[in-house]
Chains A and B, each alone.
Chain A
Amino acid sequence: MAQIMGKQSIKFDTRVGILNSASIVSKKEGEGPLGELFDVICEDPIFGCESWEEAESTLQKEAVTLVLGKARLEKENIRYLFAGDLLGQTIASSFGLLDFNIPLFGVYGACSTCGEALSLGAMAIAGGFADHVVAVTSSHFASAEKQFRFPLEYGNQRPLSASWTVTGSGAFVLSKEYSDIQITGITPGKIVDYGVKDSLNMGACMAPAATDTIFQSLSDFDYLPDEYDKIITGDLGYVGQEILIKLLKEKGYDISKQHMDCGIEIFDQDNQDTHAGGSGCGCSAVTLSAYILKQLQNKMWKKVLFVPTGALLSTISYNEGKSVPGIAHAVIIENITM
């Protein structure tokens, strides 16, 4: 069977199982609507470390340790790691995963990294290049603020369109072994730039990219939105959600019934002061692990399109007056027993 679908998608004809997953978050996420679903909630936002960067590394380390334990695998069983985060030169992954001694592919797709890591991991499994791989991504509110915005103690007013970086890490074991939950296809996304320059309105920056990827995925596989129980974006937030649904409607697909956004799900907008919603590559990862995969496992949903979204900017590109391009990677995840 042809695995190459349409313009940019892949339909795996070999099994890619999501054997197990793990999520670890901090206090604020634990107090959110998904609170009781996470594996570990750490009350100390710095995780007993010296710096925020170390704290984020610890998040990844703990997430991988946890998922290996849950899947009853030793680190020697894992052939490759696909990992990424939001920090410069992805130092959270480099320092967090150092001690595992597993060959590493470091990936960066801003907040879409979870989708990118899962896609590459799935391709490695489907291609027969590995029997088990781990995909892991993380983000930390404090290290992201420090990297992209202001020091934490600096007083400023966040606009209502701004999102709140999720402190958390999600890890996934992909395997050629059987699992009810499998990745059956992917649509890697293109860089899409609609010339938005407001880096505090990430939803508007990324919505065109999500639109492009979802549209392409649906047409490559020749599906209607009804094919999926949910079409789940990473961190478009309230502003981005509205834009995405409108843009896709203009292209002929109405996803208003199926659409869900991890950034909207993870926080309670009214009580947690998170404005447009959660963001970061930990946001989609922990929501996938704690909520989406569980819904699939419990047969509440059969098939979902998981589309983490990323804003490809740095403080340098922003200061030099560049716009904020977006990217989104789609992963089809289904419970094959239904």
Chain B
Amino acid sequence: MNEKEKQERNQQYNQYIKQVTPTHNLAANMCRAFIIGGIICVIGQAIMNYCKSLGMDKDTQGAWTSLILVLAAVVLTGFNIYPSLVKFGGAGALVPITGFANSVAAPAIEYKKEGQVFGIGCKIFTIAGPVILYGIFTSWVLGLLYYILRVIGVI
């Protein structure tokens, strides 16, 4: 079998397996993501409203809301409850700040056995790392763009 025939065979095979491989129902998944994501946001709003009623300013309200949501997600990760939320809600539980907390807490628990430095230290950001790196990088690019636009007088 030469290279070309092989490529053709592989292509056909990949097309075929796409047909026989079952996938999650997209509409149902989106619906569940909306419910779980919505619930997390409602809880966040409730915390925020409560903070407001205590007379905090807007920044402090936001800070407390994030802190409490992150803490809750880390505790739920520790009790192995958060993965069930994601299994049900998919991106609805992954995208909010709670998902980010889960992605940092989970490796910390898993790699603890490999030591404080090479375990937790090196591997705590194995999942969240790209978000942090490219998040910071993107804000740096935007900052630079903003600066240039300021200098040339557009803004």
Contacts and interface: CB of A to CB of B under 8 A. Distances in A.
Interface in A137-190: 146, 150-161
A243 B16 CA distance: 9
A155 B14 contact: no
Contact of A243 (B9, B17, B80, B83): B17
A154 B20 contact: no
A195 B1 CA distance: 15
A51 interface: yes
Interface residues on B, range: 35 or more
Contacts of B86: 155-157
Contact of B102 (A153, A157, A243): A153
Given A146-B110, A239-B22, A153 B93 contact: no
Nearest to B9: A194
B23 A160 contact: yes
- Main SS of the interface on chain A? loop
Nearest to B25: A160
Interface in A183-208: 194-196, 201, 204, 208
Given A201-B21, A243-B20, A151 B109 contact: yes
A227 interface: no
B77 interface: yes
B26 to A, nearest CB: 12
Contacts of A146: 110
A76 interface: no
Contact of B10 (A51, A195, A243): A195
B48 interface: no
A243 B18 CA distance: 11
Contact of A159 (B24, B106, B127): B24
A160 B29 CA distance: 13
Contacts of A161: 21-23
A153 B73 CA distance: 11
Nearest to A239: B21
A50 interface: yes
Contacts of A153: 77-78, 80, 82-83, 102, 105-106, 109-110
A222 interface: no
Query: Which has the most chain B C-beta neighbours within 10 Å: A155, A158, A208?
Result: A155
A17 B37 CA distance: 59
A157 B24 contact: yes
Contact of B107 (A50, A151, A156, A196): A151
Nearest to B87: A157
B127 A150 contact: yes
B61 interface: no
Contacts of A150: 106, 127
21 contacts: A150-B127, A152-B80, A152-B83, A152-B106, A153-B77, A153-B80, A153-B83, A153-B110, A154-B106, A155-B87, A156-B83, A156-B86, A156-B87, A158-B87, A160-B21, A161-B21, A161-B23, A194-B9, A201-B17, A239-B20, A243-B16
Question: Top 5 A-B pairs ranked by shortest CB distance?
Answer: A155-B86, A195-B10, A151-B110, A154-B106, A153-B106
Given A146-B110, A153-B78, A239-B21, 18 more contacts: A50-B113, A151-B110, A153-B77, A154-B127, A155-B87, A155-B99, A156-B83, A156-B87, A157-B86, A158-B87, A194-B9, A194-B14, A195-B13, A201-B21, A204-B17, A204-B20, A204-B21, A242-B20
